[in-house]
């Protein structure tokens, strides 16, 4: 038998000891009066819960929610306690808390170890958020024609379908390619949005953030600076992406130096929008290129997962296809392909919102308590400094009690965990002809509307600023698919979702049949 040599032993022993020591220390240090989930009070049992959360997160959350439906519970993660907030009132308070008390950026920095995967700037100066809220969203209508054009080309190119022959398509990878191209057509226009090497760099970078980030997060803090640079190829990716973006950024900075910020002929794209909101160091070439990678990382996988889920739902509940296709065809016949036309596709909007409601992450609205005195709810309950706090996605979206407060349509109350793509469009049809006071609540239930009961895009201070673009892109994609393609399920069973810790994703192996319509 071969025994490992001393170097190998050391390599495994040091991290293991550090890891065990960190866990014991942290769990001991953070003992508190908050109820843990049943059976998790001891050191060993809490550690077992932390491991269980990685593989079967919803079981852990259900235990906590069943314990107290209107309060706060906590469970152990590998290096900290996670406080989970249940009930509308608490969600409203959490969502409204300012960033100097509850920080969304610090929570993301922890989950995805962004210091290593996206660079320090992500956390220290997150000016990309203002860029998405401001210039990017303001320019959506103006840039819609190029986004629409790319949707046509991207589906054609990625699906590669000829005539009306059925093809079995693995839908998640295809969605990623289509979304990456379409998003980058908004960001840069031609030709860069079709550079396959550039697109692959953006996609691979996002994969690193979503897979290696959480992996790093499961290592003890002391090991992260050592292993971070090995696990994340951030610097290499940045160097490679600068081959594509470097000359473009140089030229913009040069033009600005010569002719001022609003020089004639300045392109309406991501670099200009980033330059609009940045100052000093934020306007240097590597920082701007890294920001492009950051925007791609937050935009591509979220939208591709939403599109994949929508297509799984559409093929699982095919009775939605015809009514949505008829709606899309009649709206486009009357108005053409404009962003405004998408606002009249109520069935598609309702369908996507329903798909996002049912396919929700285990934990949403994750925040880190950064105020030294902790975060205090109005009833005095205080979450200590340095803790993480979040809202359970499924418990919130599937809860009949909560939904009966927000949505008083009978069907919504009785069947919260059943997929009904037209819940909201039906409500709109039922109220047709009523005056504005009878319909006002409909305006708060679009795909982009957030609420304490609907947190797919978060809610409050840090609600996703990219949701206006995501909704435009996804509605246009779904309408395009319905009009130009037939789709059907591969099997009777919807490909099962994958849950790992707080994240839920559509099954990446799932396939659907697609053919071009005549």
Show the binding pattern over residues 185-224: x = contacts ligand HEM (CB under 6 A), - = does not.
Answer: ----------------------------------------
- What pairs with residue 169 in β-bridges? 512
Length of the chain: 518
* 303 lies in the site for ligand HEM, by CB under 6 A: yes
Based on CB atoms, which residue is closest to ligand HEM, 27 or 193?
Answer: 193
| Window contacting ligand HEM (CB under 6 A); options: 64-72, 372-380, 418-426, 457-465 | 457-465
The count of other CB atoms within 10 Å of the CB of residue 77 is 24
73 binds ligand HEM (CB under 6 A): no
Distance CA 15, CA 345 (A): 54
Q: Which residues pair with 363 in a beta bridge?
A: 392
466 touches ligand HEM (CB under 6 A): yes
Nearer to ligand HEM, 63 or 298 (CB): 298
Q: Is 104 in the site for ligand HEM (CB under 6 A)?
A: yes
Binding-site member from 302, 309, 315, 355 for ligand HEM (CB under 6 A) = 302
Q: Report DSSP state, residue 112.
A: T
Q: Which C-beta is closer to ligand HEM: that of 428 or that of 475?
A: 475
Q: Smallest distance, Å, CB 200 to ligand HEM?
A: 19
The correct pick among 442, 463, 500, 503 for binding ligand HEM (CB under 6 A) is 463
Q: What angle do CA 284, 290, 293 make, to 5 degrees?
A: 145
Specify the stretch interacting with ligand HEM by CB under 6 A; choose among 274-282, 294-302, 368-376, 432-440. 294-302
Q: How far is the CB of 427 from ligand HEM (least distance, A)?
A: 22
Determine the interface stretch with ligand HEM among 23-31, 59-67, 312-320, 455-463 (rule: CB under 6 A). 455-463
With binding defined as CB under 6 A, does residue 71 bind ligand HEM? no
Contact status: 306 vs ligand HEM (CB under 6 A): yes
In a 13 Å sphere around the CA of 159, the CA atoms on its Cβ side amount to: 29
**Nearer Cβ to ligand HEM (208/474):** 474
Q: Calculate the alpha carbon distances from 38 to 62, 76, 87, 135, 191 in Å.
A: 11, 12, 19, 48, 57
Pairing assessment for the beta strands 363-369 and 167-170 based on DSSP bridges: unpaired
Sign of the Cα torsion 181, 470, 294, 172 reads negative
- Cα separation, 338 vs 354, in Å, equals 24
Residues in 123-142 that interact with ligand HEM by CB under 6 A:
128-129, 132
Binding residue for ligand HEM (CB under 6 A) from 73, 144, 422, 457? Answer: 457
Instruction: Give yes or no for residue 175 binding ligand HEM (CB under 6 A).
Output: no
Q: Which of 71, 214, 392, 458 binds ligand HEM (CB under 6 A)?
A: 458
Pick the piece of the chain touching ligand HEM (CB under 6 A) from 201-209, 298-306, 411-419, 490-498: 298-306
- The residue (of 228 and 458) whose beta carbon lies closer to ligand HEM is 458
Pair 312, 510: CB distance under 8 Å: yes
Of the two residues 105 and 288, which places its CB atom closer to ligand HEM in the complex?
A: 105
- Map residues 468-487 to x or -, x wherever contact with ligand HEM holds by CB under 6 A: -xx-----------------
Residue pair 250/285 in contact (Cβ under 8 Å)? The answer is yes
Measured distance CA(121)–CA(202) in Å, rounded: 18
CB of 40 to ligand HEM, least distance (A): 26
Closest by CA position to 355, among listed 466, 485, 494, 258: 494
User: 464 labelled as ligand-binding?
Assistant: yes
Asked if 360 and 326 count as a contact pair (C-beta separation under 8 A), the reply is: no
* Residues touching ligand HEM, count (CB under 6 A): 25
Nearer to ligand HEM, 315 or 355 (CB): 355
Binders of ligand HEM in range 358-387 (CB under 6 A): 364-365
The DSSP result for 231-298, as a single string, is H--HHHHHHHHHHHHHHHHHHHHHHHHHH-TT-TT---SHHHHHHHH--GGGGSHHHHHHHHHHHHHH
> Which of 172, 256, 237, 152 lies closest to 479, judged by CA?
152
Q: How far is the CB of 353 from ligand HEM (least distance, A)?
A: 11
Q: Are 63 and 84 in contact (CB under 8 A)?
A: no
Name the strand (E) or helix (H) holding 185: helix 171-188
User: From the annotation, which residues make up the binding site for heme?
Assistant: 464
Which stretches of the chain bind ligand HEM, using CB under 6 A?
Answer: 104-105, 128-129, 132, 295, 298-299, 302-303, 306, 364-365, 456-459, 462-467, 469-470
User: From the annotation, which residues make up the binding site?
Assistant: 464
């Amino acid at each position: 038998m071969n025994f490992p040599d001393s170097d190998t032993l050391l390599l495994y022993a040091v991290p293991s000891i550090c890891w065990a020591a960190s866990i014991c220390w942290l769990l001991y240090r953070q003992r508190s009066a908050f109820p843990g989930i049943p059976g998790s009070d001891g050191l060993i049992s809490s550690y077992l819960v932390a491991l269980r959360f990685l593989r079967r997160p919803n079981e852990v959350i259900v235990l906590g929610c069943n314990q107290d439906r209107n309060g706060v519970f906590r469970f152990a993660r590998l290096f900290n306690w996670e406080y989970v907030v249940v009930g509308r009132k608490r969600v409203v308070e959490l969502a409204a808390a300012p960033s100097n008390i509850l920080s969304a950026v610090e929570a993301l920095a922890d989950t995805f170890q962004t210091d290593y995967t996206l660079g320090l700037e992500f956390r220290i100066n997150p000016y990309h958020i203002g860029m998405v809220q401001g210039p990017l969203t303001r320019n959506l209508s103006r840039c819609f024609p190029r986004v629409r054009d790319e949707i046509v080309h991207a589906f054609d190119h990625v699906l590669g379908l000829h005539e009306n022959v059925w093809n079995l398509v693995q839908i998640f990878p295809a969605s990623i390619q289509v979304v990456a191209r379409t998003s980058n057509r908004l960001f840069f226009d031609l030709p860069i949005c079709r550079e396959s090497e550039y697109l692959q760099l953006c996609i691979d970078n996002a994969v690193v953030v979503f897979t290696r980030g959480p992996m790093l997060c499961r290592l003890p803090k002391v090991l992260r600076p050592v292993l971070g640079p090995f696990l994340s190829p951030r610097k290499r990716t940045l160097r490679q992406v600068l081959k594509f973006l470097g000359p473009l950024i140089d030229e913009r900075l040069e033009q600005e130096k010569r002719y001022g910020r609003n020089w004639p002929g300045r392109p309406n794209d991501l670099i200009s929008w980033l330059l609009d909101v940045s100052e000093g160091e934020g306007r240097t070439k590597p920082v701007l290129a890294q920001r492009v990678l950051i925007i791609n990382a937050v935009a591509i996988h979220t939208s591709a997962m939403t599109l994949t889920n929508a297509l799984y739902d559409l093929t699982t509940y095919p009775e939605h296809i015809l009514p949505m296709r008829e709606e899309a065809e009649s709206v486009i016949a009357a108005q053409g392909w404009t962003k405004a036309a998408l606002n009249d596709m109520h069935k598609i909007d309702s369908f996507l919102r329903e798909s996002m409601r049912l396919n929700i992450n285990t934990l949403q609205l994750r925040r880190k308590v950064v105020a030294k005195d902790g975060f205090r709810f109005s009833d005095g309950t205080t979450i200590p400094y340095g803790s993480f706090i979040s809202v359970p996605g499924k418990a919130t979206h599937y809860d009949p009690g909560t939904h009966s407060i927000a949505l008083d349509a009978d069907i919504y109350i009785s069947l919260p965990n059943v997929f009904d793509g037209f819940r909201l469009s039906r409500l709109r049809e039922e109220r047709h002809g009523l005056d504005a006071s009878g319909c006002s609540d409909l305006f708060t239930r679009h795909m982009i509307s957030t609420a304490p009961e609907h947190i797919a895009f978060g809610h409050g201070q840090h609600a996703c600023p990219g949701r206006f673009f995501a909704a435009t892109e996804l509605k246009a994609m779904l309408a395009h698919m319905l009009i130009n393609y037939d789709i059907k399920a591969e099997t009777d069973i919807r490909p099962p979702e994958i849950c790992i810790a707080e994240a839920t994703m559509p099954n990446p192996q799932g396939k659907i049949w697609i053919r071009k319509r005549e």
